[in-house]
Structure 1
Amino acid sequence: MTQPDRLDWTGRSLEVEIGPVAHGGHCVARHEGRVLFVRHALPGEKALVQVTEDNGGSFCRADAITVHTPSPDRVSPPCPLAAPGECGGCDWQHASPAAQRALKATVVMEQLQRIAGLDREVTVEELPGGSLDWRSRVRLAVGQGGRAGLRAHRSHRVIPLRDCAIALPGALEPVLNRSWKPGTELEVAKDGTGQVHVAEIRKDRPPRIMIGEGLAHEHAAGRDWRLASGGFWQVHPAAADTFAQVVDDWAQAPVGGTAWDLYGGVGLFGSVLARQVGPTGSVLVIESSKRAVVDGTANLADLPQVRLRVGRVERVLGSAELRAERPDVVVLDPPRKGAGKDVVAAVAAAGPDRVVHIACDPAALARDVGLFATHGYRLAELRAFDAFPNTHHMECIALLTR
């Protein structure tokens, strides 16, 4: 039997009215019964859009090419590469910073309502420093010409850079002024002292430090930190200190108590919990990266109440040792996919009075909040931060109580 031709609008230009914002850095429009996820647009605009990707289902992807009726929130992007067909790093440079935060708040509220069934007002808070010149860590790709750059949106194509509007000033200069091996990737970090570190990433060998010492120096939560420059640290210079303060406010671990710091990295939040429980208490930091645990052990050597364990959180929590432990508070900062059913169940089974959940994806957070609700925990507090200005990303911190 001959199969019908698959519906494919790729390359078509359509006149549409732009609807509400959606999670992922685009807005929703509709045409002939199909949904279009449109980038470079804002709610309420009328625009000519071009379909960039269509897999034949109920939706396709498009870019706004010409805006006939611009939103009052529209501004000129500070970077010429924040345009259709260009760099995929920034989603919202065409919106004012205040409008960006409002769009992100709408996304968080929609995810909480749709996934967790919660109606809650959300304000996305600005971090110090403005919307440009903030990104301290950048992953670059090297194109066939040997120049480093960023990939186009949903593409492997490398766009060579002269600079980046959201990177910390001077962070990329040592990288963009020289040639590199095509096909490699570069991890660039500018640490809290202003030192730039660059590691070359190849598939056939471990990362190799090309610029700097590979040991980043940071300061947060009242402490100095030293960690591998390619290790996890918040990319916004103000984020680590801000988030640590929220954890300090909400954790309320009792003196002599027990606390867990899951997906703990080098122990930033573990250091906050250690200060709360004091020398007679206990803090367990679980982290899958061996290098992070080595760095964390060195950084927290003055806090004997802190134990650091290497391993996947779900496996360590399932050990006989921890099944017998009852923490007063649990802090968790999972990767973008969130904690998930098994980790949430294990944390709830441990019975902490309070859970502080840090999340960089609002959909994953909403799912985890809903999972915690099935175990008797409610969302008591929520703060959201614009830790990634000009992108669709944000950071949320939730307090869950029994």
Structure 2
Amino acid sequence: MPNPRCDYFEAGRCRSCALIETPYAEQLSAKEARCRELLETVPGGAWLPAVEGGVRDFRNKAKLVVGGRRGAVMLGILGPDGAGVDLRDCLIQQPGIRAAIPRLAEFLDGTGLWPYDVPRRRGELKFAHVTESPDGELMVRFVVRSERALETLRGALPRLLAALPRLAVVTVNILPEHKAVLEGEREEILLGASLDMDLGPVSLHLRPQSFFQTNTPVARALYAQAAEWVAERRPRTLWDLYCGVGGFALHCASGAGDGASGAGSRADAAGGVSVLGVEVSEEAVRSAERSAAEAGIDARFFAADATAFALGSRAEDRPEALIVNPPRRGIGAELSAWVEGSGIDTVVYSSCNPESLARDLAAMPSYRVLAARVFDMFPHTKHLEVMVLLVR
């Protein structure tokens, strides 16, 4: 399928999809080449075919700046001059999100609230985050400056539900400060509690401030691949550090590896593996525990810093297999050194930054890469997800 023609890009209004005019096959080839160059210790034969992310309709979450003026809001990005740029017809968003954005703009017009003016540091409405589940339900999160805006949105909730009948979760996040962040600490729930992300073998419950991969089909492939690799190694115990809402842990515990490589699956070998997940967010841990209970999966989850948890563990408690899915900075020198000396047999490392992955792998010379794969979570950009299977 050819890349979509983007009027916003051609007009110079948005350059977020910097590669949208590059044929998709070339984008994917360049990402694979970059990973092979950075991860030079990975044997050529270890690389599996990359998982494609699609050319349009692939983003399950829109992080929209609220710009414009009262009664005529714009939903999109912040321009170079600090003013909002309206992107309500952006073609990389899932169709359900794209259909919701004009209705959301009309709703905000009716509230009478002022969009936040970044250069002048005044106004109320900062962001609207919209997430769509695989079943087409929506989570909408408003980021505002004050209690007054919160109460205005609370009072207008019936009108919002009428405009967007597939709403499952509505929250208001309070961010009074002028700072370059997407949300504050305080989150007020107006409707629901979590969005059900049904991935087939496992349903994950996404709470408002929890992380979830932005490309649902690629996320399915990522979790399935990890589950297949783990099943093939047949560990009795598994830790998932930086586990988030439990995607990797629960898929591995359920043996959900079908279709990951296109060559069949031995996922049934994962039966009986004892799984423990560690995540710093207590909210994400509650979501993971709920998903495990609903699926009848015997998995434990703890709210803790991943590095501190590992370094504080006893040698006899260490698992036979480990999954790590850290933020862009990687697992870092301290945790890399712990893994290197841990004696753990199998490590699955999923990374959104091949540079930090390369640094961490260099600090773990006792492991060799048995398999590697690029997952194109972010088409039309240079960003990617790459996952490797390490064995001691």
Q: Give aligned pairs, total.
A: 319
Which one of 49, 58, 81 corresponds to residue 134 of structure 1? Answer: 58
User: SS at the partner of 1:372?
Assistant: coil
Distance (whole Å) between structure 2 residues aligned to residue 77 and residue 251 of structure 1:
37
Larger relative helix fraction = 2
Residue 52 of structure 1 corresponds to none
Which one of 246, 253, 258 corresponds to residue 274 of structure 1? Answer: 253
Decide which structure has the larger Cα Rg and report it. 1
Residue 137 of structure 2 corresponds to 195
Which one of 296, 304, 311 corresponds to residue 311 of structure 1? Answer: 304
Residue 22 of structure 2 corresponds to 95
Q: Which fold has the larger relative contact order, with Cα–Cα distance below 8 Å and residues 6 or more apart in sequence? A: 2
User: SS at the partner of 2:300?
Assistant: strand
5+ residue gaps, structure 1: 1-74
Asked if structure 2 preserves the Cα contact closer than 8 Å seen for 1:135 and 1:168, the reply is: yes
Specify whether residues 241 and 215 from structure 1 end up closer, same or farther in structure 2 by C-alpha distance, changes over 3 A only.
same
Asked if structure 2 preserves the Cα contact closer than 8 Å seen for 1:279 and 1:305, the reply is: no
Residue 345 of structure 1 corresponds to 337
Q: What's the offset of the Cα at 1:304?
A: 6.2
1:140-219 correspondence runs (5 A): 140-145=64-69, 146-152=73-79, 157-172=83-98, 173=101, 174-177=103-106, 178-179=108-109, 181-183=114-116, 184-201=126-143, 202-204=174-176, 206-208=186-188, 213=192, 215-219=194-198
Q: What's the offset of the Cα at 1:323?
A: 4.2
RMSD over aligned CA atoms reads 2.8
Residue 378 of structure 2 corresponds to 388
TM-score by length of 2: 0.73
Residue 243 of structure 1 corresponds to 222
Distance (whole Å) between structure 1 residues aligned to residue 91 and residue 114 of structure 2:
25
User: SS at the partner of 1:389?
Assistant: coil
Asked if 1:262 is matched to 2:255, the reply is: no
User: SS at the partner of 1:285?
Assistant: strand
Asked if structure 2 preserves the Cα contact closer than 8 Å seen for 1:198 and 1:209, the reply is: no
Summarize deviations over 1:101-121 as a string: whole Å, max 9, x none.
Answer: 1121222123224xxx65747
In the alignment, residue 306 of structure 1 is paired with which amino acid?
A: A
1:56-75 correspondence runs (5 A): none
In the alignment, residue 381 of structure 1 is paired with which amino acid?
A: A
User: SS at the partner of 1:186?
Assistant: strand
Distance (whole Å) between structure 2 residues aligned to residue 395 and residue 317 of structure 1:
24
User: SS at the partner of 1:381?
Assistant: strand
Same amino acid, percent of matched pairs: 27
User: SS at the partner of 1:327?
Assistant: coil
Distance (whole Å) between structure 2 residues aligned to residue 303 and residue 349 of structure 1:
34
Asked if structure 1 preserves the Cα contact closer than 8 Å seen for 2:242 and 2:277, the reply is: yes
User: SS at the partner of 1:147?
Assistant: strand
TM-score by length of 1: 0.71
Summarize deviations over 1:37-71 as a string: whole Å, max 9, x none.
Answer: xxxxxxxxxxxxxxxxxxxxxxxxxxxxxxxxxxx
Larger relative strand fraction = 1
Asked if 1:398 is matched to 2:382, the reply is: no
Distance (whole Å) between structure 1 residues aligned to residue 304 and residue 285 of structure 2:
10
Summarize deviations over 1:20-44 as a string: whole Å, max 9, x none.
Answer: xxxxxxxxxxxxxxxxxxxxxxxxx
